[in-house]
Structure 1
Amino acid sequence: MEEQFVWMTTRRIKPGALDDFEGAWRPAPYPQGLRRAYAYWSEDGQEIIGVSFWDGKESCDAWRSSASEAARRSAMAPYVLEEREAFYRGRELTIPTGGAG
């Protein structure tokens, strides 16, 4: 199985700020080395988990230290109450096929 490089960020945002946060959250320009990204919201719209898949840790680190990312974080800051983030390595799990016997 192919090893994947994933950056995950969990943010708690101010109540009612989801639309404004989303406008500030989208990166521009699109980061080099970013393969795909997902965002997941809690039912109340106050917690957001971002999951991004990268070519490698170096690509992710280069983006995180860029001026574009600093500007993006600054734009998000008025809406963010708490933030946790980390880089992970992993791979897809194989799910057995067939019925339980």
Structure 2
Amino acid sequence: MEEHFVWVTTRRLQPGTLDDFERAWRPEPYPRGLRRAYAYWTEDGQEITGVSFWDSKEACDSWRASEPEARRRAAMAPYVVEEREGFYHGRELAVPSGSGG
């Protein structure tokens, strides 16, 4: 099974700021070593979880220590009330066919 290197960040946002936060959230330039990224938010738009998949822990660490990431985090800061984050290793779980339906 393929191993994944994943960075997960969950942020609680100021009420009514999801659209502004999403504009500030987009990385520029696109990080090297980032394979794909997802964002999931609550119905009320006050909590958002970002899940990013990386080539390696080193690629993720390099981006997190970069100047573009520091600027991106500063741009997001006015909208964030609370933040939790962490790096994980994992794999896709095999789901038997015909289940969940």
- TM-score after normalising by structure 1: 0.96
Deviations 1:37-63 (A, max 9, x none): 000010000000000000010000000
- Calculate the aligned-residue CA RMSD, in Å: 0.9
Q: Does 1:80 align with 2:83?
A: no
After superposition, residues 1-101 of structure 1 pair within 5 angstroms as 1-98=1-98
What is the percent sequence identity of the aligned residues?
A: 75
Supply the distance in 1 between the matched residues of 2:75 and 2:27 (Cα, whole angstroms). Answer: 11
- SS of 1:52 mapped into structure 2: strand
Task: List structure 1 segments (4+ residues) > 6 angstroms apart after TM superposition.
Answer: none
Amino acid in the other structure paired with 1:6: V
Supply the distance in 1 between the matched residues of 2:65 and 2:74 (Cα, whole angstroms). Answer: 13
Supply the distance in 2 between the matched residues of 1:97 and 1:75 (Cα, whole angstroms). Answer: 44
Where structure 1 has 5 or more consecutive residues not aligned to the other structure, the ranges are none
Deviations 1:55-101 (A, max 9, x none): 010000000000000000000000000000000000000111246xx
